Amino acid sequence: MITTKGLHIGYKQQKLIKVEDLQLSAGVYILIGKNGSGKSTFLKTLTGTIPAVSGKIELNGTSIHALSESERPKHIAFVSTQFPVVDFLKVSEYLALGRSPHTAFFGKLQPRDKEMVQNALRTLDIEHLSERFTNELSDGERQMVVIARTFAQGTDIIALDEPTAFLDYQNKSEIVEKLMELGQSHGKFIILSSHDLDQSIASGADFLIVDRKEKTLSHAPAGTSKQNIIERAFS
């Protein structure tokens, strides 16, 4: 469970958003708000990239910000809007990079690491891409491969900053459907920001809504009306 208490996010003691106290079970949450409202700041705080201004975030009772630099990637994976695909690596080799937090100093894959890579290929339905080079992939395939890498990483939390921003409708739908499947079937916390409100509502996911006017972030369950979301996020 992810819990927050007295959480304020921002930069250098400058409070940007107050996060209402949350208790989130594993599943998929779509982060909605205007540009510049603090969505990326929340994701970076959630993943420990930047510190909270005040308050705390806990994963199953452990403070996220108390995790060491070496321990944090074992529990939290973050994917930025610009996907960091390394050219001229085979897809299977690229997924293996996700195991680096778990390997020894020289990065030698153990049987468990190889098993996690193969499982990620199967789970994301991209086994047919395993021997392709990353620079040969389409945009949609690249996004799926990056998500597979985070799955191979074996974390409890996967946070994605607008993972469908530059995709066509079909690829957007495939990515969202796959993320919903991962959240529902594998007990992961998946939090992604999106600007596609209609598709987000259709997904059946819960929402985390940034109200820029009130400077708050709050939880809204699946089924919350479009009008309610618009009034809170975009009024």
Instruction: Read off the pLDDT of residues 133-154 as tens digits, 9 standing for 90 and up.
Output: 999 999 899 999 999 999 999 9
Domain ranges of the chain: 2-234
pTM: 0.92
3-class SS letters over 135-155: HHCCHHHHHHHHHHHHHHHCC
Instruction: Identify the CATH homologous superfamily for domain 2-234.
Output: P-loop containing nucleotide triphosphate hydrolases (3.40.50.300)
Cα separation, 96 vs 118, whole angstroms: 9
CA atoms within 13 A on the CB side of 139: 12
In this structure, of 10-14, 158-162, 198-202, the range with the lowest mean pLDDT score is 10-14
Tokens of 232: 């809170």
Give the count of beta carbons closer than 10 Å to the beta carbon of residue 201: 18
Cα separation, 25 vs 60, whole angstroms: 10
Reported as a pLDDT band with limits 50, 70 and 90, residue 54 is: very high
Tokens of 82: 């610009």
